[in-house]
Amino acid sequence: MHMIIVGCGRVGSSLARQLTAEGHDVVIIDRNASAFRRLGDDYAGRTLTGIGFDRDLLIEAGITKDSAVMAVTSGDNSNILIARVAREMFGVERVVARIYDPRRAAIYERVGIATVATVAWTSKRILRTILPHQGVVDWTDPSSSYHLAERRVSASLAGHTVESTGSNIVLINRNGTAQLPTPSTLLQDSDVVHVLGTSAQLEEFDRQLAGKQGDH
Amino acid sequence: MFGRKKQPVVDTSIAGTTPIAEAQARTTVTITGQVIRMQSRPASDLPTMVVSIKDATGTATATWTGRRSMGGIALGRHIVITGVATHTTGLLTFVNPEYQLLA
Amino acid sequence: MKIIIAGAGSVGRYMAEELSKLGHDIFILDNDAKAISRVVAGNPRVTSILGDGCEIDTLTKAGAHDADVVAAVTGDDEDNLVISLLAKQEFAVPRVVARVNYPSNEWMFNGMWGVDVSVSTPHLLTALVEEAVAVGSLVKLLSLEHGKAGLNEVTLAEGSPAIGSTIANLKLPRESAVVAVIRDGHVVVPTPDIVLNAGDEVLVLATGDVEAEISRALIGPK
């Protein structure tokens, strides 16, 4: 996948290294070329110096609607600008912005931008937003039968009831507020849901998220 | 958080809803109604979704900037909107409000 | 009117002074204590607030919930955009004015970020220079009404089809009006019977996308 990371700080450089190691086509952007030193000599991706919300620079980075864009600079405002330009100007769907202020994050969620506010294990959470179908789980019960996974509702499931998914959705986080769903609760775009199930059940949910109906 | 009602930890509560005709501008209000009109304005650089919501007392408008579509919002659907609205165009208008889908 | 000015640099401070003289209540905010300290004290109409305009708390403290105007005039375009979005989205402020520091960012300063009116000094300066030097071309001086109306200027060059015509007979589009003619340094009220001369500076207010038609009427076919 073509990945554009804006901000070569601790998180950005770590993402860039991890994603190139996994074989993705990565471009990392920063205002200061000196930041690229964090990437190390063996970094196999591209670097670009400039402002991440500049349209021409994003075009030079090869942005298309199938790219994934991660705005992880040290500034909340830059990150939200980058995220909106990527999404609204270039039609990119896989966009995530790191927002330090959790209250502002809730506000940006309403503009439809996926945000990640937690500082700890941020790379993992960012990747989960960008690559949701890689089967990441948060917790597994001691008998190893059940897993708890966090997923972001996509357009394919928006408007569907919890019941219709056939999955055990235990909690919905909507715009920063947690709700206990009932079977008839309707899922919405950008909801973050916590799903409890076996591996097979989670795979089925992931298939639905990706827009492919399984049999249930 | 200023003005934001904490949603109760219960599914789709519409407690605290105001009829559209009585809803005040410039303060957080919650209205509920049916989606009667949806307009996607993907005019070049300014994609905007404009949704008209009607209840027994009147009609309100919700605008989402930067979107061409909103998953789950469809004509005829009932919806709860919470936000701070203006009255400048004569209609109660919300910009990027919180919403909850009802049946 | 109640006006919030975000950014206490020289632009913000000047605006606070001038607007308060006109009788408005001003709340000026900045995150930098030094900048705030430069706001002249003792003006009962001006309240200064130390805080980040990109924070809901600061805007709340400044009374954004009943402000008539928020002017985002910091030296940082990103901040100005975020302040504008919060003002529109969270506080439904009727009029949001934002300053564009870098013309390359000007394309973002519109309804997508809650901006009703954007002002780019470099852009304005260029337009005014053009207006001063350009004869025979259409200069867009100002955008009004959320960009829906524009004030355009044409200095009639020799050969303009408008020369010798009365204002009434100008082939201007329906959605436009001649608001003034400046002749030899004097404003001529544009009554329909006024005959236009070469060198007249014609100011046309137009709504809609009618610049091409105005050009044809005042400059000639291209």
Is the CB of C111 less than 8 angstroms away from the CB of B86? no
Tens-level pLDDT at each residue, chain C (222 residues): 999 999 999 999 999 999 999 999 999 999 999 999 999 888 889 999 999 999 999 999 999 999 999 999 999 999 999 999 999 999 999 999 999 999 899 999 988 899 988 998 888 888 888 777 777 888 888 877 666 788 999 999 999 999 999 999 998 998 899 999 999 989 998 999 999 999 999 999 998 788 889 999 999 886
pTM value > 0.90: no
From A115, A130, A145, give the residue that closes a domain: A130
- Would an 8 Å CB–CB cutoff place C193 in contact with chain B? no
Co-location of C176 and C151 in the same domain:
yes
Co-location of C112 and C140 in the same domain:
no
Co-location of C111 and C56 in the same domain:
yes
B contact chains, 3+ CB pairs < 8 A:
A, C
Cβ A194 vs Cβ A148: under 8 Å: yes
Co-location of C114 and C80 in the same domain:
yes
> What pLDDT is recorded for position B40?
83
Q: Which CATH number fits domain B20-101: 3.30.465.10, 1.20.20.10, 2.40.50.140, 2.40.50.1040?
A: 2.40.50.140
* Structural domains counted in chain C: 2
Co-location of A96 and A157 in the same domain:
no
Report the amino acid identity of residue B54. K
Residue in this structure with the two tokens 């097979």, named with its chain if needed: A200
From C119, C144, C162, give the residue that closes a domain: C119
Report the phi/psi class of residue A114: left, alpha or beta, with left for phi > 0 and alpha for psi in -120 to 50. Answer: beta
Strands across the sheet containing A168-174: A139-140, A147-152, A192-197, A168-174, A177-179
Q: What is the CATH number of the domain that holds C181?
A: 3.30.70.1450
Is the CB of A159 less than 8 angstroms away from the CB of B101? yes
Cβ B58 vs Cβ C105: under 8 Å: no
From A130, A147, A181, give the residue that closes a domain: A130
Co-location of A26 and A41 in the same domain:
yes
Which value does ipTM take for this structure? Answer: 0.80
Co-location of C115 and C138 in the same domain:
no
From A130, A154, A187, give the residue that closes a domain: A130
Report, as ranges of residue numbers, the positions in chain A whose pLDDT lies below 50. Answer: 120-121, 214-216
Co-location of C99 and C167 in the same domain:
no
> Is residue C35 situated within a structural domain?
yes
With contacts defined as CB-CB under 8 Å, which chain A residues touch C85?
Answer: 111
C contact chains, 3+ CB pairs < 8 A:
A, B
Residue in chain B nearest C66 by alpha carbon: B26
- Would an 8 Å CB–CB cutoff place B43 in contact with chain C? no
> What pLDDT is recorded for position B44?
52
Is the CB of A81 less than 8 angstroms away from the CB of C108? yes
With contacts defined as CB-CB under 8 Å, which chain B residues touch A111?
Answer: 64-66, 96
* Structural domains counted in chain A: 2
Co-location of A31 and A115 in the same domain:
yes
Q: What is the CATH number of the domain that holds C80?
A: 3.40.50.720
Grouping H, G, I as helix, E, B as strand and the rest as coil, residue A94 is strand
Co-location of A150 and A169 in the same domain:
yes
The parent domain of residue C163 ranges over: 134-218
Co-location of C26 and C87 in the same domain:
yes
Co-location of A46 and A75 in the same domain:
yes
Residue in chain B nearest C68 by alpha carbon: B26
> Is residue C129 situated within a structural domain?
no
From C66, C93, C119, give the residue that closes a domain: C119
pLDDT in tens, B46-75: 778 899 999 999 999 999 887 777 878 889
Co-location of A19 and A81 in the same domain:
yes
Of C90, C112, C114, the CB nearest to B84: C90
Co-location of C113 and C167 in the same domain:
no
Is the CB of C81 less than 8 angstroms away from the CB of A78? no
With contacts defined as CB-CB under 8 Å, which chain C residues touch A84?
Answer: 112
Cβ C50 vs Cβ C30: under 8 Å: yes
> Is residue C176 situated within a structural domain?
yes
> What pLDDT is recorded for position C42?
82
> What pLDDT is recorded for position A174?
86
The parent domain of residue A45 ranges over: 2-130
Our CA-based measurement puts residue C2 at a distance from the nearest CA of chain B, in whole angstroms, of 14
> Is residue C127 situated within a structural domain?
no
With contacts defined as CB-CB under 8 Å, which chain A residues touch B77?
Answer: 159
- Would an 8 Å CB–CB cutoff place A143 in contact with chain B? no
Co-location of A79 and A166 in the same domain:
no
From C119, C146, C177, give the residue that closes a domain: C119
> Is residue A214 situated within a structural domain?
no
Our CA-based measurement puts residue C130 at a distance from the nearest CA of chain A, in whole angstroms, of 27
Of C90, C94, C110, the CB nearest to B46: C110
**Domain locations in chain B as residue ranges:** 20-101
> What pLDDT is recorded for position B11?
33
With contacts defined as CB-CB under 8 Å, which chain B residues touch A191?
Answer: none
Of C60, C66, C89, the CB nearest to B2: C60
C97 sits in which H/E element: strand C95-100
Strands across the sheet containing C95-100: C46-50, C25-30, C2-6, C69-72, C95-100, C117-120
Co-location of A122 and A199 in the same domain:
no
> Is residue A215 situated within a structural domain?
no
Co-location of C55 and C89 in the same domain:
yes
Cβ A2 vs Cβ A67: under 8 Å: yes
Is the CB of C65 less than 8 angstroms away from the CB of B65? no
A contact chains, 3+ CB pairs < 8 A:
B, C
Inter-CA distances, A187 with A24, A161, A179, B74, C100, Å: 31, 6, 11, 13, 39
Co-location of A125 and A152 in the same domain:
no
Co-location of C105 and C8 in the same domain:
yes
Q: What is the CATH number of the domain that holds A81?
A: 3.40.50.720
Our CA-based measurement puts residue A83 at a distance from the nearest CA of chain B, in whole angstroms, of 11
Q: What is the CATH number of the domain that holds A144?
A: 3.30.70.1450
Co-location of A146 and A163 in the same domain:
yes
- Would an 8 Å CB–CB cutoff place A104 in contact with chain C? yes
- Would an 8 Å CB–CB cutoff place A85 in contact with chain B? no
Of A110, A153, A181, the CB nearest to B98: A110
Co-location of C31 and C95 in the same domain:
yes
Helix ranges (H only) for chain A are: 10-21, 55-60, 76-84, 90, 102-110, 122-130, 162-165, 199-209
